[in-house]
Amino acid sequence: MQRDGAGTRAWWDRMEAKKPTRHDADYWLARSAFCWSEQRLEEAWESWEKGNALVNELPRVGVYETDRDNFALLRRELESARAVAVLTKA
């Protein structure tokens, strides 16, 4: 995965300027990925957990399976980032 911290920050700022009121699974997935791109792993995990809980309440059909797959992909990235953080602190 490619990370573009500046591009992600600009996108997130534009999105937040719209003052979203619906914090669904897609919102939390995006927030988690945004935090990950800025190396804010604790916040990324918190957002991931909120969104993952929501997506797992959805029916086991079509597009919702894609949402669950996206959460699984991001989880792998977050786990890798956590492992790197642990290794660099040691």
Q: What is the pLDDT of residues 32-72, one digit of tens each?
A: 999 999 999 999 999 999 999 999 999 999 999 999 999 99
What pLDDT sits at residue 90?
59
Q: What is the pLDDT of residues 8-35, one digit of tens each?
A: 889 899 989 999 898 999 999 999 999 9
What pLDDT sits at residue 34?
93
The reported pTM is 0.86
Instruction: Write the CA distances from 49 to 12, 14, 57, 59, integer angstroms.
Output: 19, 24, 13, 18
What gap in Å lies between CA 90 and CA 76, rounded to an integer?
21
Q: Smallest Cα–Cα separation from 32: which of 86, 87, 81, 84?
A: 81
